[in-house]
Structure 1
Amino acid sequence: MNIGFSIPDPALITPATIAEIEAMGVESIWVPEAYGFDCLTPLAWFGATSSRLRLGTSIVQMAARTPTATAMAAMTLDHLSGGRFALGLGASGPQVVEGWYGQPYERPLARTREYVDIVRAVIAREQPLRYAGEFYQHPLPGGTGLGKALKSIAHPLRPDLPVLLAAEGPKNVALAAEIADGWIAMLLGPRNEPFYRAALEEGFARRSARRPAAEFEVINPVPVVVDDDVEAAADPVREFLALYVGGMGAKGKNFHFDVMARMGYEDIAHKVQSLYLDGHKNEAAAAIPTAMVEEIALVGPPAKIRDDLRARQDTLTTTLVVQGDLRALRTVVECLA
């Protein structure tokens, strides 16, 4: 389950509801962040009120924290939860990175590679941290000259704590396959799988033998809306897509736009983006056809959702993450059962 960017309805986060979610057989709970609530604090809450749920970030914005701060938070939550934490990382886009976090965005793939290197080194705790990268240096050269190579005073519960990367572009997906333990695959549907399989294979060819490709995870967040009226069920997903395709990125630099364009919806994506950026958000959502919604979401009555789930059985996905309410979660669990 993914709880979304907002703190959920209080009824969702009671110990009784968390116990119900665990009893359903739900394996994990994932929390995102953008430029509002953070993703780590809610996971501490969910970890304290559950005993089995895996706790994943989907995602930690890398620009929000130094690599060492992220590694510290990951080790802390892993200890507190008894080894249930999964660290999902993402580069986000220039609007958020430069506009909200006030950090440079250039060369995000090279920056991500260094970030993951440092996080892994801190968690492995094999030696004091020394890193001479293009974007990150430990100890910092110059300054007072008193910087010292340090090793975490906290011992990791799991030196190989899983690190996953969110990615949408082919080069970033290939990077995830090369250096990470998994890929958080937003807007992934059966139609665009061949494109991503090729990107993954490119990355697996460069992957270290220490991390077998057979153990690689593909975490697929999927919006789910249950309603006997398919069009009504599609409406919230239209709003979601309008936000991401139209507003989560600048014109000409929107990775979500690019995904839908690769699926064959480029003309619609241009229309949605134009309407959204001109302030016509409702019209932007209305311009999205139900077929486009069904590429990346499960919408409609339970019987239809069950049939649509069958189409996802032989896909890249190893973990299906429900983006929706408790009814959506229960429906998916019942369909899979």
Structure 2
Amino acid sequence: MTVGVTLDTTGTDLTLDDAVRQAREARASGLASLWFGQTFGHDAPTVAAVIGRDVPGIQLGTAALPVFGRHPLLVSSQAQTVQAATGGRFHLGLAVGTKLISEGGLGIPFERPVARLREFLTVLRQLLETGEADFEGELITARTSWPARVPGAAPTVPVLVAAMGPQALRVSGRLADGILPYLAGPRALEEHIVPELHRAAQEAGRPAPRVVAFVPGVVTPDPEPLRARLYEDLAFYEQIPSYARVIEQSGHRHAADLAVVGDEKDLADAVRRYRDAGATDVVVSGTEIAGDDARLRTWEVLGELA
């Protein structure tokens, strides 16, 4: 099992220079991977490419690019370019996104998201594996007139999906290399998510996919103020049906109940619980809310576990 962290370039004043500096700190802490979210600020794949050129020896990924508003031909070119820039260390994380972003931000109807995900992954796999596509679906059309290859890119790019619901898990098990569940506790992983994912992969004759579990967490000597803030910051997810369902499957009422806020043993025990529930990788998020000292201490603890 590998252990990584997120680097928040979405809701902060973090500059690219700051991001590179923190990436060096993550690498020095012994962490295996660094992941970047995507909203309307920094472009996550570009951040990965910039960091990958300056910071060797750490895996980089997006968590996650919404498929609405993007075309697999362009995403394939983008992913291969980042893969070439990082020397084969890039992982492409995708998501269906939310109605709020799709309709409110982009003006695109949030219709048939699982069907769009299925067609998007079908085209993307063709492009990444062969450099060509000839596909006409109900929602996506993609054809190449010449090979869609980027010189210097690795033979392929790992593709992971922020999937937690049954339909998205079935699609991901058949067409992706893994999933990126967030706010899905060990119980939800063990009883619902991992079995469905593995069943779909087996039916498709594919190896067991990776399960990269994202967990809010921080090591701090003063947990109560941070825990109170997380109840406010994460309450948004309780209004999204897919997250509300997986929080309930985890045995909790609130998103913040899944956060690990405490000492070094609390965090280490939580990582082991996720591993035992079927996670192949654990990525800890939200460390920036506690300040640099707590962030660095959390990263050191995770690096020791890695």
> Does structure 2 retain, via aligned residues, the 8 Å contact 1:171–1:199?
no
Segments ≥4 residues shifted beyond 6 Å = none
1:1-337 equivalent positions in 2, closer than 5 A: 1-4=5-8, 5-7=10-12, 9=14, 13=18, 15-127=20-132, 129-139=133-143, 149-152=145-148, 154-155=150-151, 157-193=153-189, 194-207=191-204, 209=205, 211-213=206-208, 216-246=209-239, 249=240, 254-265=241-252, 268=253, 288=254, 293-294=256-257, 296-323=258-285, 324-325=287-288, 326-327=295-296, 328-334=298-304, 336=305
Amino acid at match of 2:89: R
Measured after TM superposition, the shift of residue 8 of structure 1 is: 5.8
Measured after TM superposition, the shift of residue 175 of structure 1 is: 1.8
Amino acid at match of 1:307: D
**Secondary structure, aligned partner of 2:167:** helix
> Does structure 2 retain, via aligned residues, the 8 Å contact 1:298–1:305?
yes
Structure 1 residues 17 and 126, CA gap change in structure 2 (3 angstroms): closer
Structure 1 residues 198 and 180, CA gap change in structure 2 (3 angstroms): same
Within 2, Cα distance between the matches of 1:232 and 1:67?
43
**Secondary structure, aligned partner of 2:203:** coil
Within 2, Cα distance between the matches of 1:156 and 1:163?
18
Amino acid at match of 1:64: G
Within 1, Cα distance between the matches of 2:216 and 2:142?
41
> Does structure 1 retain, via aligned residues, the 8 Å contact 2:213–2:274?
no
Amino acid at match of 1:293: A
> Does structure 1 retain, via aligned residues, the 8 Å contact 2:237–2:244?
yes
Within 1, Cα distance between the matches of 2:124 and 2:188?
31
Superposed CA deviations along residues 269-298 of structure 1, whole A, max 9, x for unmatched, are xxxxxxxxxxxxxxxxxxx5xxx634x221
Structure 1 residues 82 and 24, CA gap change in structure 2 (3 angstroms): same
Amino acid at match of 2:150: A
Within 1, Cα distance between the matches of 2:137 and 2:53?
37
Measured after TM superposition, the shift of residue 57 of structure 1 is: 0.7
Amino acid at match of 1:104: P
Within 1, Cα distance between the matches of 2:38 and 2:225?
27
Structure 1 residues 99 and 293, CA gap change in structure 2 (3 angstroms): closer
Within 1, Cα distance between the matches of 2:178 and 2:104?
28
> Does structure 2 retain, via aligned residues, the 8 Å contact 1:173–1:199?
yes
Amino acid at match of 1:138: A
> Does structure 1 retain, via aligned residues, the 8 Å contact 2:30–2:300?
no
> Does structure 1 retain, via aligned residues, the 8 Å contact 2:131–2:148?
no
Amino acid at match of 1:67: P
**RMSD (CA atoms):** 2.4
Amino acid at match of 2:244: F
Within 2, Cα distance between the matches of 1:44 and 1:218?
24
Measured after TM superposition, the shift of residue 121 of structure 1 is: 1.8
Structure 1 residues 159 and 309, CA gap change in structure 2 (3 angstroms): closer
**Secondary structure, aligned partner of 2:234:** helix
Measured after TM superposition, the shift of residue 53 of structure 1 is: 1.2
Within 2, Cα distance between the matches of 1:30 and 1:40?
10
Structure 1 residues 240 and 138, CA gap change in structure 2 (3 angstroms): same
Within 2, Cα distance between the matches of 1:16 and 1:36?
19
> Does structure 2 retain, via aligned residues, the 8 Å contact 1:225–1:234?
no
Indicate the residue corresponding to 1:282 in structure 2: none
> Does structure 1 retain, via aligned residues, the 8 Å contact 2:184–2:250?
no
Superposed CA deviations along residues 16-51 of structure 1, whole A, max 9, x for unmatched, are 543332122211111111344331222122112211
Identity of aligned residues (%): 28
Amino acid at match of 1:112: L
Amino acid at match of 1:178: R
- For these two proteins, the number of residue pairs brought into alignment is 292
Q: TM-score, normalised by structure 2?
A: 0.85
Within 2, Cα distance between the matches of 1:299 and 1:19?
24
Structure 1 residues 166 and 11, CA gap change in structure 2 (3 angstroms): closer
